[in-house]
Structure 1
């Protein structure tokens, strides 16, 4: 079984390429390949092609992820399936870098391809129809290679990690809360806390609200959406050991009524 997702890259193209080509994740780059470009200079080659684009837009490239169930395939087979998927979907028009990551509990492919094609210098159109084609092609290739296939309508647009988290009743938010709870006792201050989260692989974004994004997660998660004890101010107080969770305000009318009833009982006794 392979679960797929795709999202655009609007900035930090080189950073994204460096991430998927990480030697620690790709068996010292033995599981890195490319088409119509060199993976070492793909960012430069993509930018040159982007400069020739007939259409303007913010997308520099697209990042396609194909995740396999644990134990269902080998790194070599997964890489070959990823190559066949990229070749069929992109039809030889878009340069791409393909890598296979083996550092997690499940093998998964990353394909980053230029947003502009080499033939007509036109932008790739990513929509429901194009994604449905990716899914159908991925499912067919998995079937041809003897792997299981996700049933139609199930878990579209999720990475395997997200699918597995949903199956187990966990989520990105649940994992982030666990990471925060583990980091707070070790942190000297809030900046040290952020450093500890980064060491766990989280990307940090500071603005009006502090947000985190785990590897493979598409969107940032704001701390304040995790609950009262995970707001920035609360985390700071927890680090200092002074946080006290607010109790619900007591209903004053009920309190007065109870006091009155107790007073009457005392007078009657």
Structure 2
């Protein structure tokens, strides 16, 4: 399990980078890596990219923290997951420094990435949507690496990192209030009595359209309804009266595709509700008909043909995914290369003058930033095996062509993923139909035996 949070770096960028690279926390800097820059000169390279921003802003960088459950992951795996997360968030367009801290009870990654990308110099837009995207990426990477994932309970709102940590350590006001309400519901006969009991326990009650409570020492009131769907006034009253039952999800509207058949015999909903059982039977008849139509339209006559076609589609999808990853990697590599070439060219005049200067120490002090940038770019180009500077215009043209190729591949991959899901549903439905058909035969054999 990994918990993520992100915050802007508005000042002291070098201090933030120094902190996350602390050798005592990173196994002597063995767990430090970077992209698009050298971690030793990241602050200067970030500032150079920021100076080219199309829009000025207050954020110099963003600091992303990914914390793992104690004992759930080793250092190397945590660092690998951190790199995958950083690559996914920055999309090969922002310099970043990644470090893994191992000095505390839990392993955690620190990712600081530049607020401006070095491709088209647009700023990173950090908001709720982007944060949930980061959280989903982190969860996906955890699943892929066999780690647990925090799954929000049905009807509950998402928690901030601070709320999660507070609830985990037993200090969350909302967590304590939920526990208090849950404990009192079986003991009281009315909502009003519950409020009285909460008041007797030290809570301050604020009546109104939405009842709010405040514990001793709590700064702000907490509305009961913000605790989740089971904590609105109406829901609590129903829970006290024993009338509250979780509402079943309404069936999804038919979108024309084929849906999975419902296992009515083993369905708890069907056992509890005759109405649902009736709906499920009709649903199954419709989906069985759609399944057979699909087989006819795609000229699939044998079960082996269906299995073979399903495997073929899955293989095509995997090939498309590999092709997409390859193009994305090439784009990221090219973006970094173009950045270093451009930096090298822009700072070459200053560096040449530095080499010819009689008083090198004084000249370096006066032009330190450009000299450091030039040396960092030269080092990166040498590491990439570049002996002759490529043409920036030609690289830009290739980059644009790759972007177009990426978009086309992404569209194809999306279609193939949809096709894979469709074939999986068809195969599962056929398996269910065949299994259902076999069950009576087994029963007859048992009777004959």
Equivalent residue for 2:213? Answer: none
2:109, 2:157 → 1: CA distance?
Answer: 20
Match of 1:48 in 2: 48
RMSD between superposed Cα atoms in Å: 1.9
Secondary structure, aligned partner of 2:161: coil
Encode CA deviations 1:193-231: one digit per residue, 9 max, x unaligned: xxxxxxxxxxxxxxxxxxxxxxxxxxxxxxxx999xxxx
Unaligned runs of 5+ in 1: 172-224, 228-269
Q: Secondary structure in 2 aligned to 1:116? A: coil
Equivalent position SS for 1:7: strand
Counterparts of 1:137 and 1:226 in 2: how far apart (Å)?
34
Structure 2 residues not aligned, in runs of 5+: 173-216, 220-449
Contact (CA 8 Å) 1:10, 1:58: kept in 2 or not? yes
Cα 1:108–1:154 change in 2 (3 A) is farther
User: How many Å separate the matches in 2 of 1:226 and 1:17?
Assistant: 35
Residues 155 and 163 of structure 1 are in contact (CA less than 8 Å); yes or no, is this contact kept in structure 2?
A: no
Q: What is the CA-CA distance between 1:166 and the residue it aligns to?
A: 2.5
CA contact (8 A) 1:3 1:156 kept: no
Partner of 2:42, secondary structure, is helix
Deviations 1:53-80 (A, max 9, x none): 0001000000000000000000100000
- 1:129 and 1:98, CA in 2 relative to 1: closer, same or farther beyond 3 A? same
Q: Shift in Å at residue 30 of structure 1?
A: 0.4
Counterpart residue number, 2:297: none
TM-score (structure 1 length as normaliser) = 0.61
The 3 A distance-change label for structure 1 pair 87 and 164 is: same
Matched, 1:140 2:143: no
Higher relative CO (Cα under 8 Å, sequence separation at least 6) belongs to 1
Per-residue CA deviation, residues 22-72 of structure 1 (Å, 9 max, x unaligned), is 000000000000000000100000000000000010000000000000000
Supply the distance in 2 between the matched residues of 1:124 and 1:157 (Cα, whole angstroms): 21
Aligned to 1:158: 161
Q: Following TM superposition, where does structure 1 have runs of at least 4 consecutive aligned residues deviating by more than 6 angstroms?
A: none
Structure with the bigger percentage of helix = 2
Conserved? CA contact 1:94–1:114, under 8 Å = yes
1:111 positional shift: 0.1
The match for 1:34 is 34
User: TM-score under structure 2 normalisation?
Assistant: 0.37
